[in-house]
Structure 1
């Protein structure tokens, strides 16, 4: 397949391109500068500008655009950037596909488990309702923009949680743990939806050739609490895990991000991915952490 990727230079995009190229696919990167070859195409997502004719030349589009949620604190202006960077970029891609003479057959657009909001005690599948809160509202608008793609384009919004790899939220967790400052966040009993970087990109590659459309959870098959994730990380890095940070302290330090990212509980099950025959390489968060910490960048 010839696949157009937005957000190609990011944490997930870099790993995805490596996998797709190894599988024999041809990748075209969307870049925010002048294109320098046939494997690049220019766009300005903030302005809604893109050469829509590129859509006639690709079989699929993967949208990974969006400002990082791991950048803290979430000031008022940065919350606006979180929304705009997702909704505007996704709408720009969808509009370009609608203008193409022959739209791509597949559109995979990133989304997030933030859709479900804080739901302690519930098992959440793709058939669960939307929750409340800032991220839930962002994700609903984000996914709504993806639905503007042409009817003939199979559209999937993949809801990702914490990706276990060298980037994103785990980069911050790794730094804190390495410094010996790791500890329980609030009660530690809140569920953190996780997935290994390997299974994240494998899941996206699987969805390219699947017949599934609509929402798909990209999360590991075995739920894990925040305490389990943080404890396993500390054990593997041979660092102490002795602190307990009260919820109030986290809220004072990080504001809304504390409630939405660290203290929110989401016991997510990737039901549609499992039903579609996808096989996870890393079934537990411990195996995902082992893979991350044994990767070359971890030993450097």
Structure 2
């Protein structure tokens, strides 16, 4: 299979591409940077570089400026929106132009779609929430679904908070613990719907092959936890002082809207459709994930 990956050099894409190559797929990566082709991987800086007869069988759309990359100024919010919607629109335009549209488009989204929902249990049938993140995910998904008119199966992969030792949220969340300081964010009672990066990679490979799966699919571990529970899992493996909160007002002063939308808010999201389709998570609970991430099983 020839798979086009947008955002293929990012946090998820850099781990996904080796998996795709290992599965025998030919890969083309859309990247703003210049890279040398090799090892069955081709790089393009524009989708215009792909000919009409390029024979793209599948697209995995991961492009987008980081939501927690920096403080959400109005300018950066516009960048977050544009980086997702413009790239997704370009992918759909490519699908229209190709002599044979791709059979599947797996387009990243996020559980931010559900908004701040407290301890309400959420699955793919749950309604959209409120706030900037929810509206961004709604519009991002709508842009991807334009490809359905071409006969392309569109999967909307709603990612939870992706944990890995090489980057992302876990590095930031665990840093105080490594210095002997245990803490949680705000009340600590807000839910964190997490997923190990290894399971994200396996899930994307799985979604490429599952012809019966289309529409929204939550990519989150089956056991979401509160921030206090995450704190307890870290303390079982790292020696720290007694736990303490990082007050919400401090986080709001430091991070503004990011604090309310991403860190003090919570969603208890379950991967109902993914599990029903037979996907097996390697890291189902936070204890096993934290053990692997810290190298302390």
- Give the TM-score taking structure 1 as reference length: 0.91
1:92 is aligned to 90
Q: Any idea what SS the aligned residue of 2:150 has?
A: coil
Does the 8 A contact of 1:55 with 1:96 survive in 2? no
Cα distance, 1:36 vs structure 2: 4.2
Q: Spell out the pairing of 1:6-25 with structure 2 (5 A cutoff).
A: 6-25=6-25
2-structure distance, mates of 1:71, 1:271: 29
2-structure distance, mates of 1:230, 1:72: 24
Change (3 A) 1:35 1:281: closer
1:170 is aligned to 170
2:229 is aligned to 228
2:257 is aligned to 256
Q: Spell out the pairing of 1:199-214 with structure 2 (5 A cutoff).
A: 199-211=199-211, 212-214=213-215
1:215 is aligned to 216
Change (3 A) 1:79 1:177: farther
Cα distance, 1:75 vs structure 2: 2.1
- Which runs of 5 or more structure 1 residues have no equivalent in the other structure? 296-300
- Which runs of 5 or more structure 2 residues have no equivalent in the other structure? none
Q: Spell out the pairing of 1:173-188 with structure 2 (5 A cutoff).
A: 173-188=173-188
Does the 8 A contact of 2:180 with 2:239 survive in 1? no
Q: Spell out the pairing of 1:1-300 with structure 2 (5 A cutoff).
A: 1-33=1-33, 36-37=36-37, 39-44=41-46, 50-53=48-51, 56-149=54-147, 150-165=149-164, 166-211=166-211, 212-294=213-295
Cα distance, 1:19 vs structure 2: 1.6
CA RMSD of aligned residues (A): 1.9
Does the 8 A contact of 1:51 with 1:96 survive in 2? no
Change (3 A) 1:107 1:178: same
Q: Any idea what SS the aligned residue of 2:51 has?
A: helix
- Give the TM-score taking structure 2 as reference length: 0.92
2-structure distance, mates of 1:35, 1:244: 44
Please give the per-residue CA displacement for 1:218-252, whole angstroms capped at 9, x wherever unaligned: 00001211111233224323333522122222112
